[in-house]
Amino acid sequence: MDGSPRSLSSARQRALLATLALSCGRLVSIDALARGVWGEEPPERIRGSLQTNVMRLRRLFGESVVVTEPDGYRLVLDPGRVDALRFLSLLEEAVEKEPASERALLAEAIALWGGTPLEGVGSPTLADEWGPLLTERYLFAVERRIDLDTGRVAEAELVAELTDLVAQHPLRESLWERLVRILARSGRRAEALARYARLRSLLVDELGVEPGAELRRLHAELLAADAPITPQPLPVTASPIPRQLPFDVAGFTGRETELTELDGFLGQGGPTRIVVIEGTAGVGKTSLAVHWSHRLRERFPDGQLFVDLRGHSAGTPVTPMDALSGFLQAVGVLADALPSTVEQRSAALRSRLAGTRMLLLLDNARDADQIRPLLPGSGNLVVVTSRNQLRGLVAREGARRMSLRSLDEHAARALLAESVGRERLDAEPGAVAELTQLCGGLPLALALAGERASRFSGTSLAYIVDELRDQRVRLDTLRDPQDAGTDLRAAFSWSYKALRPEAARLFRLLGLFPGVPIRVSTAAVAAGTGVLEARELIDHLASAHLLNQPRTDRYRFHDLLRVYAAELAEDDVPGEREAALRRLIDWYTAAVAAANQLIRPDLLTADVRLEPVDGPSLGFADHEEATAWYIEERPALAALVRVAAEHGWASRAWKLAWLLRAFYTERHDQEDWLATAELAVEATRAASDSLGLQYAANNLGSAYLRALRIDEGLEALEEARKASAETGGSEVTVAILSNLSGAYHLRSEFEKSEQLASEAARLAAEAGQRTFVPHALLNISASRIGMGAYDGAVEAALEARQAFADLGDRYHAALALSNSGEALEGAKRYEEAEASSSAALAELRALGAEYGTIDTLSTLTKIMLSMGRTEDAQAYGAEALAVCQRLGDPRAEEIRAMLSVPPPG
């Protein structure tokens, strides 16, 4: 670029250039460009549309300005020539400068500000992502410059500027605070109080909250400006008071909700109070307990005692005898006067602390037996941290228990900001979210990742995230080799080594399971045990916080503990590891087959012979129960297909993928359908499994057709037909022909489509495959609709509907009824068409089959328009458009055209 102005009349070109410019010098992926240019509704051919717009940019700015990369594009430009990036760079540079230089850099940055960020670039996505960041940084710069100007610039000038700013940003308290403070400093106390009153009224009316602590303190100072200050005498103690709490964590953040809950545990007076903070290694139990204890110091004026009980650490656990020795000496008992038994020392501690108000922090407890001798008398508070749930302490001693969980993304950002800085976090929100997920929200892991990022300030957070994606090295990356206390693997090992052998084995084997959540039945299958034994073992893991238990019969790994368990499983006996995986795949395949009895019985051909399984029986009462099970287990099911393919178990891979299509078609889980079908094809090809290839390629072809990738669908189906011909045919041959019929229907080759469907129906009838006949009839009806042979289409559709109903296949019976409605609409038999389509829609809604409703809603829209019922047409059309938008379906354009509704944006 030569610096001369260019005119971009197209909003999409402006959005494309802005998206590239905000990441200039770095690769911008196709997905990121699509979001920047088109938001949530990209065109069908994203790459082609981007190529066209990039070509136009090159014509304006030169061929070398936008470079094509394998996965996107890169703008070759000095970031200093992009105002937004120059603005952020100046602010970052200003932080490290002396006041005079800082003031100059801030002024230069503020001068670049032109009002609403990214206004006119034509990209709401960019405005949403970058606007708040840039506005926040601008206001921060202005506030900092005002602070530097205070005392140097006339106060009236600063008051005028701040008055204008609070009018533009009325809810930003930091601006109001500066305005009130400057007014008070210049002797305008009444105006300062009036400004505070105006802000308070605004916050209470708009948000229902009071001003922040700093403003309230400033207000109190203004009200008490004329009151005399009475000096307070320093407290004097007759003897030393133990103050053993460890150093409070600097910058403690992210646990406000937990602190409030802990405060709620404390009543007024009463008997001994025990609070247990339990959770997995690295979740921040000690940090929270120490911080809370520091907040409570004034409530326990007789002192605070602390002991690390080393219940889960490299050292030997501290015995109650030794812990009591330390406590008694801390409260004045001479070493040579200590009693000789645990019971006597425990009684001595209770006697010594009777009538006092003291806080005892017992960190890293192993079990309740380690705690009980250390409990003092009435009026004191005991805070315990442990990786175990200490259920007995809750049941017998009435302890109040908090189960500490991982940080959510908001709290994780706050913690990372302490080491990384908010500017870097705001610049890479996607990387921050993934970093939080990879660290499992564990404060220790996040702190280590933040420290790593702070060491390499020139490295993007995305680069660090990329390092952590490889779970084989994640635990090595998240540690300080010079500090054993930061080694997460070692911390996890202390909990693992405390398990009995059967529970340790289950922990390792569950590390192989790719799903969430884990049920007791899953644990029983993985371990090859009975349900009762599995329940006891998995409960043991939950008690030790090696698994979380969000609800009854639902367990889940913390992400980093899953990595650790998988590492242990890799070192296990290979035969046992693979046997566990086979058990899991076979059991889940059997469960999907059981669901198919209610959903798609036609998929259960004689070719799909399942492996015998040992494990809990899993049946389903009805379609709804089967679907609910699938929705919860969906990630595990797709992942198990991958596991089977990666281990070379082709038969297991294609059978599970084939049976899953019942749910995939009904639920329109397109990505999983394509991914599992592609894996199955690759596995059967590699194994030279001709029968499996017929099923796998047919399944893949169906998935491609659903995604309207018609040419790829035909290619896969032809591969299936070829494999079928080479083996003399199989039970799936009819399905292959039926799907080929569907492919030609999508190409509007209706005669060929009907010919293939008719051949499929004939072969199915001759072979006695009654489950495949109605699918062929469904395609015959669709082909006849395309050719305008509406009466014949109605006949075929109704015959298909009856056959599906006889098989118990509600989903395809509803689709057949919908075809009947479409054919009746074509024949202008509108009342009959409405009845058929309405009945089909009701059934599809009851099944939760959103994808299937689109054509039915479209047909009802046409019917209503033909009958002059415009309001009803608009309602059906709006519902169809909403479903299309949720599913990313291209039929939206046809529906908009029917309703004469312009596209969004």
Asked which of 807, 828, 861 is the last residue of a domain, the reply is 807
Q: Which amino acid is at 44?
A: E
Residue 694 located in a structural domain: yes
Domain count of the fold of the chain:
7
Contact 112, 134 (CB under 8 A): no
Residue 1 located in a structural domain: no
* Domain CATH code at residue 503: 1.10.10.10
Better-scored residue on pLDDT, 2 or 776: 776
Contact 811, 666 (CB under 8 A): yes
Beta bridge partners of 359: 304, 381
pLDDT at residue 710, as a whole number: 93
Residue 492 located in a structural domain: no
pLDDT at residue 74, as a whole number: 86
Contact 835, 816 (CB under 8 A): no
663, pLDDT greater than 50: yes
Beta bridge partners of 274: 382
pLDDT in tens, 415-443: 888 888 888 888 888 888 888 888 888 88
**Once rounded to an integer, what is the mean pLDDT over residues 380-403?**
88
Q: Residue 830: is it exposed, middle or buried by C-beta count within 10 angstroms (0-12/13-18/19+)?
A: middle
Question: Can you count the helices (H) and strands (E) in the chain?
Answer: 42, 10
Q: Are residues 382 and 420 in the same domain?
A: no
pLDDT at residue 95, as a whole number: 59
449 confidence band (pLDDT: 50, 70, 90): confident
Look at residues 629, 622, 600, 633 and name the one whose alpha carbon lies nearest to residue 809: 600
Q: Are residues 469 and 449 in the same domain?
A: yes
Token pair, residue 290, equals 């120490």
776, pLDDT greater than 60: yes
Q: At which residue do the structure tokens 């040992």 appear?
A: 614
Q: Are residues 481 and 583 in the same domain?
A: no
355, pLDDT greater than 50: yes
What residues have CB less than 8 Å from 466, skipping those under 6 apart? none
Q: Cα(740)–Cα(753) distance, rounded to whole angstroms?
A: 7
Residue 491 located in a structural domain: no
Q: Cα(720)–Cα(718) distance, rounded to whole angstroms?
A: 5
Q: Are residues 639 and 734 in the same domain?
A: yes
pLDDT in tens, 216-273: 888 888 887 653 323 333 232 334 688 899 988 766 777 888 888 888 887 544 444 8
pLDDT at residue 253, as a whole number: 78
Asked which of 427, 457, 486 is the last residue of a domain, the reply is 486
pLDDT at residue 482, as a whole number: 67
Residue 688 located in a structural domain: yes
Mean of the per-residue pLDDT values of the chain: 85
Helices (H), 208-315: 213-223, 256-265, 285-295
Q: Are residues 283 and 382 in the same domain?
A: yes
Q: Are residues 374 and 422 in the same domain?
A: no
Token pair, residue 701, equals 């072809």
pLDDT at residue 231, as a whole number: 30
Q: Cα(76)–Cα(41) distance, rounded to whole angstroms?
A: 28
Asked which of 807, 832, 866 is the last residue of a domain, the reply is 807
Q: Cα(424)–Cα(414) distance, rounded to whole angstroms?
A: 12
Q: Looking at the chain, how many residues does it have?
A: 905
Q: Are residues 625 and 642 in the same domain?
A: yes
Q: Are residues 211 and 322 in the same domain?
A: no
Token pair, residue 794, equals 């109605």
Instruction: Tell me which residue range forms the domain holding 611.
Output: 579-807
pLDDT at residue 354, as a whole number: 76
Residue 605 located in a structural domain: yes
Beta bridge partners of 246: none
Better-scored residue on pLDDT, 494 or 725: 725
Q: Cα(132)–Cα(689) distance, rounded to whole angstroms?
A: 56
Token pair, residue 683, equals 């596995």
Residue 237 located in a structural domain: no
Better-scored residue on pLDDT, 23 or 309: 309
The b/e string for 20-33 (b: 16+ C-beta within 10 A; e otherwise) is bbbbbeeebeeebb
Q: Are residues 627 and 763 in the same domain?
A: yes
What residues have CB less than 8 Å from 273, skipping those under 6 apart? 265, 266, 267, 380, 381, 382, 400
pLDDT above 90: percentage of residues in the chain: 30
Contact 105, 94 (CB under 8 A): yes
Q: Are residues 601 and 717 in the same domain?
A: yes
* Domain CATH code at residue 835: 1.25.40.10
pLDDT at residue 484, as a whole number: 65
Q: Cα(146)–Cα(162) distance, rounded to whole angstroms?
A: 9
Residue 656 located in a structural domain: yes
Q: Are residues 748 and 601 in the same domain?
A: yes
pLDDT in tens, 670-724: 999 999 999 999 999 999 999 999 999 999 999 999 898 999 999 999 999 999 9
SS3 content of the chain, % helix, strand, coil (to 5): 65, 5, 30
Q: Cα(662)–Cα(480) distance, rounded to whole angstroms?
A: 49
Q: Are residues 330 and 479 in the same domain?
A: no
